[in-house]
Amino acid sequence: MHDCTSLFRTILGVAYRGPSRPPKPPMKLSSELVHLGYNAAMVVHTFAFRWKPGVREDQKVRALAEIRELQGKIPGLLETWVGVNVSPRSQGYELGGVMKFADQSALDAYGAHPVHQKLLQWLMPLIDPLEVDFEA
């Protein structure tokens, strides 16, 4: 029977150095996973907001409405979903959304688009945002 140390040496061919995990292999980009059904051209933009203290309900409703209204105004923005977070694991993020873009250049153009910038101008002082973008 092997103890953990000799098992690691046998499986990994390395000396076990304690409770840390073995290194993970580098994560593949979606463009390398096309054979699994990933569309390397499409980019998904996800976001979540924590409201800063003092934000009024009408400001929250306005943010939700204006984010939804971006659909059709931004070239390359294919789909938009946004709503109030209902997860019990929300960690204080009250609003979340997902946007699907045709490609990375469409997402890049969205960031600088005047309609998006107008929204950010009044919204950014009200939120602590979290964003994750990935190829899908």
Does residue 84 surpass a pLDDT of 90?
Answer: yes
pLDDT tens-digit map of 93-108: 999 999 999 999 999 9
Residue that wins the pLDDT comparison between 85 and 37: 85
Q: What average pLDDT does range 62-82 have in this prediction? A: 97
Q: What ranges do the domains of the chain cover?
A: 39-135
Can you give the pLDDT at residue 11? 40
Can you give the pLDDT at residue 75? 96
Q: What average pLDDT does range 116-121 have in this prediction? A: 98
Tell me what the pLDDT averaged over the chain comes to. 83
Token representation of residue 72: 């059709």
- The answer to whether the predicted template modeling score (pTM) of the entire model surpasses 0.85 is no
Q: What are phi and psi of 4, to 5 degrees?
A: -60, -40
Does residue 18 surpass a pLDDT of 70?
Answer: no
Half-sphere exposure of 49 (CA within 13 A, CB side): 22
| 39-135 topology per CATH | Alpha-Beta Plaits (3.30.70)
Residue that wins the pLDDT comparison between 81 and 9: 81
Residue that wins the pLDDT comparison between 34 and 130: 130
Give the residue from 48, 64, 60 showing the smallest Cα distance to 130: 48
Can you give the pLDDT at residue 41? 83
Does residue 1 surpass a pLDDT of 50?
Answer: no
Does residue 65 surpass a pLDDT of 60?
Answer: yes
